[in-house]
Structure formats: C-alpha cells, structure tokens
C-alpha cells in the first residue's frame, strides 16, 4: 500500500525538496503541501493523509497547534503526525507527543532517516528509539501540563500483567524484537500485546502508549 503524505513547512524550497524525495519512493506519495499549520489542518481534513509531516516552527498557526488540532479531530484518527524540529531537545516536542504526534525528527536528519521515519509513524510505531528522545520523554512527559488530566495507575487496570510488562518495555524505547528477546517470546506475540494495550487504552499509536506509561507511573523518569 502507498503511504499518503502531507507536508507542512513555511519554506517553499524545503517543501519542494521533501516532495521530490518522498515521491521518489514507490511506496510513498505526497498528496498535499501546506505553508502553515492552519492550512495543514484544512488539507488533512480534505485529503486524509496517512502521515502529516509538520515543521514545528511556522508563522501563524505553528506545527504544535496543528498537531493538537489534527489529533483532537475524531474524523482524523487515522492521520499520524511526524514533527520536524531544529532542536531535538525542545520541550515543545514533548507537547506535540502529548497531543498525539507519533514522533519527531531533527531537520538535520538524512534523506533515508526521513523516509524511514515516515514509514515508521505510518505503521503506528513511535519514533522514540534514540537516547535523546527517551531522555526528553522521561523529563517532560512524566508530568502532564497544567490544566490537563493526569493518567493514574487505575487507568492501566484494563491491561493484563503481560500487557503492562510489554507497555513498560515499550516506554523504555525498546523495539518489538528487543522485547521479544527479553521476554523469550516471538515478535508477533509482542506486537499482539502492544496492539491490545493500545486498543484498551484508546492510544492512537505507540507514542501515546509511552506517554500513558510515564504519566501513570508504570515507568518512572530517571534523574
């Protein structure tokens, strides 16, 4: 299946470069381009892309506001968001992940990294593999923003013991293969547990599962 992509960046030349790159792959297709966050939200509703690639810093409605609008729209639950940022330790990225973004990538990433990131987020997996990302999550996601509801341990009561165990390992940034090796089960079994946990907790994707794990105290941040 072809992954349909929406690109949002205020720099026309950069959008054109991204489009040429994405369209050069047989399994990827750019279906729309936006110059700001407001246009990105409108185009997401019009085209229903599989992945919206949003620059975090745009004039007017920025990538953060666009992420929140897309992820809060019940008609866009199948649209995954990949945030691009110049500063990978920016606390704004944590806000994007809280809002439901599937992950983020530095704008200095290579072409192969961008393509892999789009595919990863489209598959519902979190782009949370690097140590820097895990540190960011531990620091900023362990505590919700003021005025937002905090997940509590009881929220995870719907999970089985094995599903909680797998969710905790997911929150540590481990891949399905790594979890399978640690628990001595097959990667397919791990994937099934992850999918069931996402369904029971109404998590959009793997990234939201990580957020819930930290905010419920299932996994605690390290100083």
Q: How far is CA 90 from CA 38, 132, 144, 199, 222, in A?
A: 22, 11, 16, 30, 18
pLDDT of residue 194: 93
Segments of the chain with pLDDT less than 50 = 129, 131-132, 223
pLDDT of residue 126: 67
- The position carrying tokens 């072409």 is 111
Q: What sections of the chain are H helices per DSSP?
A: 12-23, 37-47, 63-72, 91-99, 111-122, 131-140, 161-171, 176-183, 187-200, 206-215
- What CA–CA distance (Å, rounded) separates 73 from 45? 9
pLDDT of residue 146: 54
pLDDT of residue 223: 44
pLDDT of residue 186: 94
- What CA–CA distance (Å, rounded) separates 92 from 105? 13
SS (H, E, C) 54-98: EECCCCCCCHHHHHHHHHHCHHHCCCEEEEEECCCCCHHHHHHHH
pLDDT digit string (tens) for 24-35? 999 999 999 999
pLDDT of residue 172: 80
What is the model's pTM? Answer: 0.71
């Amino acid at each position: 299946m072809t992954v349909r992509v929406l690109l949002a960046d205020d720099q026309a030349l950069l959008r054109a470069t991204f489009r040429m790159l994405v369209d050069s792959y047989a399994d990827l297709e750019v279906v729309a381009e936006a110059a700001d966050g407001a246009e990105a939200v409108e185009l997401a509703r019009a085209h229903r892309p599989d992945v919206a690639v949003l620059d975090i810093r745009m004039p007017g409605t920025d990538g953060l506001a666009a992420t929140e609008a897309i992820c809060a729209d019940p008609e866009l639950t199948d649209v995954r968001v990949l945030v691009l940022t110049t500063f990978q330790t920016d606390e704004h990225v944590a806000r994007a992940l809280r809002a439901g973004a599937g992950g983020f990538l530095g704008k200095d990433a290579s072409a192969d990294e961008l393509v892999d990131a789009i595919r990863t987020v489209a598959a519902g997996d979190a782009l949370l593999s690097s140590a820097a990302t895990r540190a960011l999550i531990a620091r900023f996601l362990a505590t919700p923003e003021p005025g937002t509801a905090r997940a509590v341990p009881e929220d995870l009561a719907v999970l089985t013991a094995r599903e909680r165990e797998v969710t905790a390992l997911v929150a540590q940034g481990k891949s399905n293969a790594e979890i399978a090796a640690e628990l001595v089960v097959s990667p397919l079994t791990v994937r099934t547990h992850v999918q069931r946990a996402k369904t029971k907790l109404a998590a959009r994707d793997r990234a939201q599962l990580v957020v819930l794990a930290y905010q419920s105290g299932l996994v605690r941040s390290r100083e």
